[in-house]
A and B are shown apart, each in its own frame.
Chain A
Amino acid sequence: MDFELSEEQRMLQESAQRFVQKSYTFEHRQNVASQEGGFSRETWRTFGEMGWLGIAVPEDMGGLGFSPVETAIVAEQIGRALVLEPYAMCGVFPASIVTRCGREGQREAMLGDIVSGEAVYAVAYSEREARGQVHYVTASAELTADGAWRLDGYKTLVVGASVADRLLVVARTAGAADDTNGIAIFLVDPKQPGVTLKTCVLLDGTPSADLVLDGVMVAQSDVVGEAGNAFEGLQAAVDETIVAICAELVGDMEDAIELASEYLKTRKQFGVAIGSFQALQHRMADMAIDAMQARATLHRALLALGEDSAKRSVEISGCKAQTTRSARIVTQQGIQLHGGYGITNEYKVGHHYRRHLVLDALFGNMDYHLNRYARQIQHEALAAAA
């Protein structure tokens, strides 16, 4: 094991730090939220220019050819600065799907768009009753007589959809609602007939939408990879994206702790800085411990990404449950330590709490992932006893 950043990793971290400190101040963020609908194309292109949208994409497919470790380094800074543009959901996620599932030829064209930031891709993977189960898909794909696919159904929480140029839509070609076989991914133009986006903003100000598919026709050439066999690649992409989200949460926590620490030194009551009160010092200590555990858990998740598929996915579920739980404690207490200011819109600390609620909902919440991990424990314990 090696916990030191390499020279390249340090440079990447410094450039990400510089970017968010200079160009993504909290004031800038609030302007993007209130005046640009939570998404700036210019910022997205900048991400592309800096290579952030293809960090783990192999070099021969147009990416930087690094690993999820480098993605996490950037995602942590995204979390600290509460960047609104959905880096994980419209950057890491579609890039990973196309890298893993795409056919030769198709892959290069789509990744070119994604990695450069020229086109924004949103992924319609979730449904109201899926609650984190990647294989729970009811939206249907039917092969028509002329060889095209017809999509019908309803997808939820399509982060970035309202600003996207392309949608990657997960639908079922065969099987029951929770079969792992029969899942396919389709490339859809949001402006094409039959597509309706019911737009919204999420709790943290990120643009999103529900997607209604009503007889949307997709050519065979726009099936990403092989129809019916997308599950494994999709699950791997979900796992990779969850790890980026865990890194964002670590950034959220660290920033919330820094903000609280500064506040405790400047805020005075009873004639002294409130940081001199032991009750508050101990709360800060507890927050620091949770942040330490979250970072260690992120390291575990990065290690797990290299393991074989069955083990990998459950390990990463455990990591998401643990990281989100710590983020909840830390961001809640970040508000509490700021007193009334903590609940105001103009103070940054409360926005970390809002963000963690969104990240908790993505790909299934704490309970879902904890239970998934618990079932694995049951399975392993019974197998060992047999």
Chain B
Amino acid sequence: MDFRVDPADIAFREDVRAFLRQHLPADMAFRGQQGFLAGDDDSQRWTRILHEARGWSVPHWPVADGGTGWTAMQRYIFEEECYLAGAPAQNQAGVSLVGPVICEFGNEEQKRRFLPPIQRGEVFWVQGFSEPGSGSDLASLRTTAVRDGDHYIVNGQKIWTSFGAYGQWNFVLVRTDSEAKPQKGISFLLLDMATPGVTVRPIGSLDGCHHLAEVFYDDVRVPAENLIGEVNKGWGYTKFLLFNERAFLGAEAPALKRYLRKIRHYATREHAGGTPLIQDPTFAARLAQHELEVRAIDMAVQKILHQGIDERSGGMAIGSMLKVRGSELHQKLTEMLLEVIGDYGAVFYPDPNEEHALRDMSFIGPDYAPGLAAEVFYRRACTIYGGTAEIQRNIIAKAMFDL
């Protein structure tokens, strides 16, 4: 055991920082530092920059498909530095979710057709998993796909589709065998959202935004060649996808670090009765408590990055453990950020990506106020998405204690 940081990782971090200083556009970084979610323009533009400048747009993919061959630690450093610099999120559904599934289970033709546009930031993907009646119990999903010659005909509805309104392509779980056990009758389809019969209806969320959507499928004809892997094997591919999501993205530790940095910074600029807020001992003690928890999460993540996911690191449970505690911290820290700005914590700052943005209201308050409330509301979802905190605890109890 030796906990000192490897010199090669320090050098790599410097390289990433230098790259970001040179290539991350200032306007994008400004928007990225606010709490609003990136729109599709910024996401795709950033992916193009990463790809063209250094070939860094899909580091975690296999090298043959465009990945960088970085170690897990390098990937984490890259992600963290991008986040701290305010780089926008890439199109996660494409880059992190369906991309790796196509790399792992797609055929050569599918790889040739779908992977390069994701890598180049040309096609925006959205996820079609949850349904009104199938949330935690995902395998009960009822959207159907019936084979008709060389097409599948899809009927049904998906919900909670992030960035649904921007979606150009959609990966959907569909029921292809209603007789089999729920998990054994699901297939994984890739669907062009411009196909007739697809209707997207945005859902207004607490943050005043419309990032989420319902997607309705009414006799949508999907070419059979868009099926991933084998028919009725979709659940296996889904588990692969969910495991990736939880294990490596679950805690979103870089975001936690950015919150801490912001709280420290804003709390020196905000004053309470003439004294910087940071000097309030109760406030500082609360911040200290959160910071210690975040540092523990960060160290636990580093351990996984070095050891990989196996029995020593808690096996299947570790991703869920990090997700549960990480999510709680996201919620606490975003609330604390809103508290920091005092009276302006009560003011509604609209998302610049929304149509009603600013209308005829004047801008008031500190320049760092917009987005903080949006992030509080967004983070309420993080104990729900990717498997609720309760489902994660079920997984932990089962995997660690066989309960």
User: Chain B: which residue is nearest A73 at the CB level?
Assistant: B1
- CB-based contact B291/A289 at 8 Å: no
The verdict on B116 contacting chain A, using a C-beta distance below 8 Å, is no
The verdict on A265 contacting chain B, using a C-beta distance below 8 Å, is yes
Contact mask A278-297 → B, CB, 8 Å, 1/0?
Answer: 10111011101100111111
The verdict on B2 contacting chain A, using a C-beta distance below 8 Å, is yes
Q: How far is the CA of A6 from the CA of B108 in the complex (A)?
A: 43
- The residue among B287, B300, B307, B397 with the most chain A CB atoms within 10 A of its own CB is B397
- CB-based contact A265/B296 at 8 Å: no
* Other-chain contact of B293, A295, A322, A377, A381 (Cβ < 8 Å): A322
The verdict on A339 contacting chain B, using a C-beta distance below 8 Å, is no
- CB-based contact A289/B396 at 8 Å: yes
The verdict on A276 contacting chain B, using a C-beta distance below 8 Å, is yes
The verdict on B276 contacting chain A, using a C-beta distance below 8 Å, is yes
Task: Give chain A residues whose Cβ lies under 8 Å from the Cβ of B267.
Answer: 381
- Given the interface pairs A264-B403, A282-B397, A370-B285, the reply to whether A6 lies near B1 with Cβ below 8 Å is yes
* Other-chain contact of B278, A3, A69, A318, A378 (Cβ < 8 Å): A378
- Given the interface pairs A1-B3, A293-B300, A385-B265, the reply to whether A281 lies near B393 with Cβ below 8 Å is yes
Q: How far is the CA of A295 from the CA of B314 in the complex (A)?
A: 12
Using C-beta atoms within 8 Å of the partner chain, give the interface range for chain A.
35 or more
User: Chain B: which residue is nearest A262 at the CB level?
Assistant: B401
* Other-chain contact of B401, A4, A284, A300 (Cβ < 8 Å): A284
Q: How far is the CA of A318 from the CA of B2 in the complex (A)?
A: 20
- The residue among A285, A286, A318 with the most chain B CB atoms within 10 A of its own CB is A285
| Distance between A84 CB and nearest chain B CB, rounded to angstroms | 28
Task: Give chain B residues whose Cβ lies under 8 Å from the Cβ of A149.
Answer: none
Main DSSP-derived SS at the A contact region = helix
| Distance between A154 CB and nearest chain B CB, rounded to angstroms | 30
* Other-chain contact of B306, A1, A9, A282, A381 (Cβ < 8 Å): A1
Task: Give chain B residues whose Cβ lies under 8 Å from the Cβ of A9.
Answer: 1
The verdict on A361 contacting chain B, using a C-beta distance below 8 Å, is no
Contact mask B377-397 → A, CB, 8 Å, 1/0?
Answer: 000000000000010111011
- CB-based contact A318/B292 at 8 Å: yes
- CB-based contact B307/A3 at 8 Å: yes
Contact mask A1-27 → B, CB, 8 Å, 1/0?
Answer: 111111001000000000000000000
- CB-based contact B278/A293 at 8 Å: no
Q: How many residues does chain B have at the interface if contact means C-beta atoms less than 8 Å apart?
A: 51
User: Chain B: which residue is nearest A379 at the CB level?
Assistant: B278
* Other-chain contact of A281, B269, B281, B297, B397 (Cβ < 8 Å): B397
- CB-based contact B292/A284 at 8 Å: no
* Other-chain contact of B302, A1, A5, A6, A384 (Cβ < 8 Å): A1
| Distance between A16 CB and nearest chain B CB, rounded to angstroms | 15
| Distance between B259 CB and nearest chain A CB, rounded to angstroms | 14
| Distance between B186 CB and nearest chain A CB, rounded to angstroms | 26
Q: How far is the CA of A265 from the CA of B317 in the complex (A)?
A: 19
| Distance between B395 CB and nearest chain A CB, rounded to angstroms | 8
Task: Give chain B residues whose Cβ lies under 8 Å from the Cβ of A321.
Answer: 288-289, 292
Task: Give chain A residues whose Cβ lies under 8 Å from the Cβ of B298.
Answer: 296
Q: How far is the CA of A9 from the CA of B1 in the complex (A)?
A: 8
The verdict on A358 contacting chain B, using a C-beta distance below 8 Å, is no
The verdict on A382 contacting chain B, using a C-beta distance below 8 Å, is yes
Q: How far is the CA of A370 from the CA of B4 in the complex (A)?
A: 25
* Other-chain contact of B403, A261, A303, A306, A378 (Cβ < 8 Å): A261
Q: How far is the CA of A264 from the CA of B285 in the complex (A)?
A: 36
- Given the interface pairs A284-B397, A381-B264, A385-B268, the reply to whether A292 lies near B403 with Cβ below 8 Å is no
| Distance between B389 CB and nearest chain A CB, rounded to angstroms | 9
- CB-based contact A293/B293 at 8 Å: yes
- CB-based contact B279/A285 at 8 Å: no
- CB-based contact B285/A374 at 8 Å: yes
* Other-chain contact of B279, A264, A276, A286, A378 (Cβ < 8 Å): A378
The verdict on B303 contacting chain A, using a C-beta distance below 8 Å, is yes
Task: Give chain B residues whose Cβ lies under 8 Å from the Cβ of A384.
Answer: 264-265, 268
User: Chain B: which residue is nearest A380 at the CB level?
Assistant: B264
- CB-based contact A289/B285 at 8 Å: no
The verdict on A373 contacting chain B, using a C-beta distance below 8 Å, is yes
- Given the interface pairs A1-B2, A1-B302, A300-B295, the reply to whether A289 lies near B397 with Cβ below 8 Å is no
- CB-based contact A261/B401 at 8 Å: yes
- CB-based contact B4/A297 at 8 Å: no
- CB-based contact B292/A275 at 8 Å: no
User: Chain A: which residue is nearest B326 at the CB level?
Assistant: A289
- CB-based contact A381/B288 at 8 Å: no
* Other-chain contact of B324, A276, A289, A295, A302 (Cβ < 8 Å): A289
The verdict on B284 contacting chain A, using a C-beta distance below 8 Å, is yes
| Distance between B341 CB and nearest chain A CB, rounded to angstroms | 16
Q: How far is the CA of A78 from the CA of B3 in the complex (A)?
A: 23
Residues of B290-343 whose CB lies within 8 A of A: 291-293, 295-300, 302-303, 306-307, 314, 317-318, 320-321, 324-325
The verdict on B5 contacting chain A, using a C-beta distance below 8 Å, is yes
Task: Give chain A residues whose Cβ lies under 8 Å from the Cβ of B396.
Answer: 284-285, 288-289
The verdict on A267 contacting chain B, using a C-beta distance below 8 Å, is no
- The residue among A3, A294, A380 with the most chain B CB atoms within 10 A of its own CB is A3
* A binding-site residues for B, Cβ under 8 Å: 1-6, 9, 69, 261, 264-265, 275-276, 278, 280-282, 284-286, 288-289, 292-297, 299-300, 302-303, 306, 318-319, 321-322, 325, 370-371, 373-375, 377-378, 380-382, 384-385
Q: 20 A-B Cβ contacts within 8 A?
A: A1-B5, A4-B1, A5-B1, A264-B403, A265-B402, A276-B403, A282-B390, A282-B393, A282-B394, A285-B396, A288-B400, A288-B401, A292-B300, A296-B296, A296-B297, A297-B292, A321-B288, A373-B292, A374-B281, A385-B269
Inter-chain pairs besides A281-B398, A282-B394, 5 sampled, C-beta below 8 Å: A1-B6, A1-B306, A284-B401, A299-B3, A371-B281
The 7 A-B pairs at the shortest CB distance, nearest first, are namely A281-B397, A374-B288, A303-B3, A385-B268, A285-B396, A285-B393, A296-B299
